[in-house]
Amino acid sequence: MHDRTEDRPPLDRSGIALRYLCAVPPMLFHGVVLAVVAHREPGRLASALTDVGLGLAGLVLLLGLRRHPWRTALATALLTAVSATASGPAYVAYVSLCAHRRWRRIVPVAVVSWVCLTVYAARGGVGQTTAVSVTTGTVVLGALTVFGLYLRGRRDLAASRREAALAARREQAQRIEQARLAERMKIAQEMHDVLAHRISLLSMLAGGLAYREDLTAEETREVALAIQQNAHQSLNELRTVLGALRRGGAPEPPQPGLDDLESLFDEVRTAGQRVEVSDTVDGRDLLPAQTGRHAYRIVQEALTNARKHAPGSRVTAEIGGRPGHGLRIRVSNPAPPGVPAGPGGRLGLVGLAERTRMAGGTLRHAARDGAFVLDVRLPWEA
């Protein structure tokens, strides 16, 4: 059976050096004690050298600590039965094993370590010194166990913090990406509103120029001039929206608002669309610019839809409201039965619904008594 190393970064040179620095002090302490004993009792020099040699062997065994933690801990613990200097490497290996927090390995090694320290303490006979040594060794073993578990707790805490920080960065990146996508969706909606309006006007003007044979030269020139102006305006508005898309932001001000609706109505009337307007807005100067911008685009898209699905029909636009009561936009036009939706049919309503939702308002539409009615309400706080 092979040991499984923990899922953590490999130990660097400083970590390896720290292990050996922790193992050396106990070895030096016991080495000095053995040197003093050998000096007083020359006959014990061989056993002292053997003790130190086994301690050095324990240092060598520490090289395999990461790949085989419990085997290394067990081997160094066995050395302490005949070598006091091996206690240094044994302590380090045992703490590392406890840091793994795998009790089925910790408990057997702890038992072996306690038995070995008892065996070593009882080498010269059982007495008061043996009891003190065993007690001290037991306390040290318990302290090492607590310290190893503490190190594992610190390691787990650091890992959880790293994971939390990584999750937070991922979440932040997702939020940024979602914000970018939402902004691009708004820009795409802006592009749809602008181009659909302009292209439908161009189509109406070009259709009139193609099929009407009663136009005078002056009228033909005026229609051609209107086509040219709308095409030029379409290019300008397209550049504005695409420029905003490249910059990753919203279209730059000034943006059309409620006060620009009259120019919009004049523009579509010039193109041949019949529009009747009822404007009863009270306190329009108090209307937030963002709400006014949404209102303009909603009316613009409603007129575009009417031109697409009921060409030549009279359109009625009713706009009213005041602070504290909201802004209402109601656009209606005859709905001839059996008229198929053109390319992108109903996509305009989807865009209108999304824009209304973004503005915090509500949208209703229905066909009643042969007429298609679009009713939008936008919030307008007092």
Q: Is the pTM for the entire model greater than 0.95?
A: no
Residue spans per domain, the chain: 13-168, 273-382
For 183-242, the pLDDT digits (tens) are: 566 666 666 666 666 677 777 777 767 766 777 778 777 777 777 777 777 677 667 666
Domain 273-382 has CATH 3.40.50.300: no
Q: Which of 157, 152, 243 has the alpha carbon at shortest distance from 194?
A: 243
Contact 97, 105 (CB under 8 A): yes
271-322, pLDDT tens digit by residue? 788 999 999 999 888 888 888 888 998 998 888 888 888 888 899 999 999 9
State the SS3 of 88-137.
HHHHHHHHHHHHHCCHHHHHHHHHHHHHHHHHHHCCCCCCHHHHHHHHHH
Specify whether the CB–CB gap between 244 and 276 falls below 8 A.
no
